[in-house]
Amino acid sequence: MRLSWEWLTPRRRPATARSVLAGEASAEAARKTSQAPEEALEAGAAEVAPAEEKPAEPEFPVAGDERAAAFFDLDNTVMQGASLFHFGRGLYKRKFFERRELTRFAWQQAYFRIAGTEDAGHIQDVRESALSIVKGHRVAELMSIGEEIYDEYLAGRIWSGTRALAQAHLDAGQRVWLVTAAPVETATIIARRLGLTGALGTVAESVGGVYTGRLVGEPLHGPAKAEAVRALAAAEELDLDRCAAYSDSHNDIPMLSLVGHPYAINPDTKLRKHAREHDWRLRDYRTGRKAVKIGIPAAAGVGALAGGTAAAVAIHRRRA
């Protein structure tokens, strides 16, 4: 299967070839699976519990600004913990692999929660484990199982405050995308359940609808996330200066630095320091601390639950 990315504009800052490939492949997959704005709003309304009182209309996001969009990191920003670990739990329950591999996933989750940040070495280990598990399985099979796993393990782990921030953008008529190192199918299920527009995620190769165990480029992590956002913005004619991005990790500083409205959500130590130095807005839902900067949408206190997931990912053609 061949990919066609002629519609992409040239990148304007350095990145590794694999990061660019990962970002462009993720943007292509995201455009293929995205929901129309009205579909996203309807799905979001179905998943979100109504608030007792409607909050005052925030100054940001700007209602009706169709060239603005929002990009949300997933793990520890939108949901508590690592989505891939919980997907692994669901696959173990269905006897996809043995206990020793689940133990490996558990160690990665424990490290993530204790350290409060991502580590490139651990991400590499998780990637290799996930690819070996799904190799030879059909994409459709993993997507179907992912829907079940979402209901079992992920729906109750969504940060209600972050979910409300995403809803504020949707209510303003803007598109909202997840951006994550998790497999694009996993991210797409979660985005759909939350009523978001779509998702950018790690793209794994498939041939004839079957996973090969190889990636397209590299995991969507660090600079690759920025490349994915850049590619999607170019294809969708977005103005990045009017867009917002949300993350908990200093690894996402390249993505956050792309947009005009960066937010640090549940930030690790390095991101908190960087955000303060650059006058970025902060919000921490782990402790209930108030935002350091005024300007977080008023909807940030309103709750809602949802989420979704599957494994590795397929190469997609450009959306017609």
What is the spatial distance between Cα 203 and Cα 181, in angstroms, rounded to a whole number? 9
Which residue of the set 75, 248, 252, 268 is catalytic?
75
| 205 φ/ψ angles, rounded to the nearest 5 degrees | -75, 140
74-94 exposure pattern, b = at least 16 Cβ within 10 A, e = fewer: bbbbbbbbbbbbbbbbbbbee
What is the spatial distance between Cα 300 and Cα 305, in angstroms, rounded to a whole number? 13
75 carries an active-site annotation: yes
**C-beta neighbour count of 194 within 10 angstroms:** 30
The owner of tokens 């179907």 is 144
Are the CB atoms for 188 and 198 separated by under 8 Å?
Answer: yes
Q: Nearest Cα to 310, choosing from 152, 196, 157, 167? A: 152
Give CA separation, 77 vs 173, 266, 267, in Å. 22, 7, 8
Which residue of the set 65, 73, 248, 268 is catalytic?
73
**Annotated catalytic sites, by residue?**
73, 75
